[in-house]
Amino acid sequence: MRILVIADIHGNWPALEAIVSKESFDCCWCLGDLVDYGPFGAECVDWAREHCTYVVRGNHDHAVAQFVNGRGEDGYRYLARVTRELMWQQLSGDQIRYLARLPVSLDVTLNQRIVHLYHATPRDAMDEYLGPDEQTWQERVSALRGQLLCVGHTHLPFLLRVGERMVLNPGSVGQPRDGDPRASYAIIEDGRIELHRVEYRVDLMVDAIRATDWPERAKEWLAAVLQHGGLRPALSQLRP
């Protein structure tokens, strides 16, 4: 059984396509955030519906499905706010309902063992931002029955041992924030867990972003985030 684990696709179809055309897999687990930031939200929702065995709801899926107007004049909150309008324009009622009905967490079975799927953390399934901090994760996983917890949300890939458990974050397919612009994902096979990266056509995403009616500032930031692997490395280029 070869499992593809993905998260935080964020409307980046070229990145998702690069992964799924490179990797063969028996099933796919998606840890949420299909939409916002990228102009291919509908394509990513359709792909997940057709190909993912399990999908949990991310904070951006929730916000789009519940018609939450974003707030923020800076950083990622600003980019989410200005890109969300396009999601509402391009997603059908059926696609919106699909996002609204996604579970906030799932317990799945792999080789007779429980695996927990969350977008963020068990404490706050959609919103808590927690990187590879072993001590804090110990508090978050202590009540779980399973040995493996799969999460997304931070857009930072890591595989962390926490006592007898493992916490896997496959990183972000469509908007990496660790300084490496390549699409990030994980493969679980025969008890092994591996993090992977693959190059994709960032230029196609930048062209698609430039073709939207988003504010020029947002287009510039989004392109730089994709080209540099995050806002911080991008801003160091934009504001030398």
Looking at the Cβ atoms of 78 and 114, the one nearer to Fe ion is: 78
Site residues for Fe ion per CB under 5 A: 8, 33
Q: What's the token pair of residue 10?
A: 């964020």
Looking at the Cβ atoms of 30 and 165, the one nearer to Fe ion is: 30
HEC string for 177-229: CCCCCCEEEEEEECCEEEEEEECCCHHHHHHHHHCCCCCHHHHHHHHHHHHHC
Displacement of CA 74 from its chain's centroid (Å): 21
48: left (phi > 0), else alpha (psi -120 to 50), else beta? alpha
Displacement of CA 29 from its chain's centroid (Å): 11
Displacement of CA 50 from its chain's centroid (Å): 17
Looking at the Cβ atoms of 39 and 146, the one nearer to Fe ion is: 39
End-to-end CA distance of the chain: 48
Amino acid at 156: L
The nearest distance, CB 26 to Fe ion, in angstroms, is 25
Looking at the Cβ atoms of 165 and 234, the one nearer to Fe ion is: 234
The nearest distance, CB 7 to Fe ion, in angstroms, is 7
The nearest distance, CB 233 to Fe ion, in angstroms, is 17
The nearest distance, CB 23 to Fe ion, in angstroms, is 21
Looking at the Cβ atoms of 26 and 127, the one nearer to Fe ion is: 127
Strands (E), 77-143: 105-110, 113-118
Strand partners, 118: 105
Looking at the Cβ atoms of 165 and 231, the one nearer to Fe ion is: 231
Residue 170 in contact with residue 184, Cβ under 8 Å?
A: yes
The nearest distance, CB 161 to Fe ion, in angstroms, is 24
The nearest distance, CB 118 to Fe ion, in angstroms, is 13
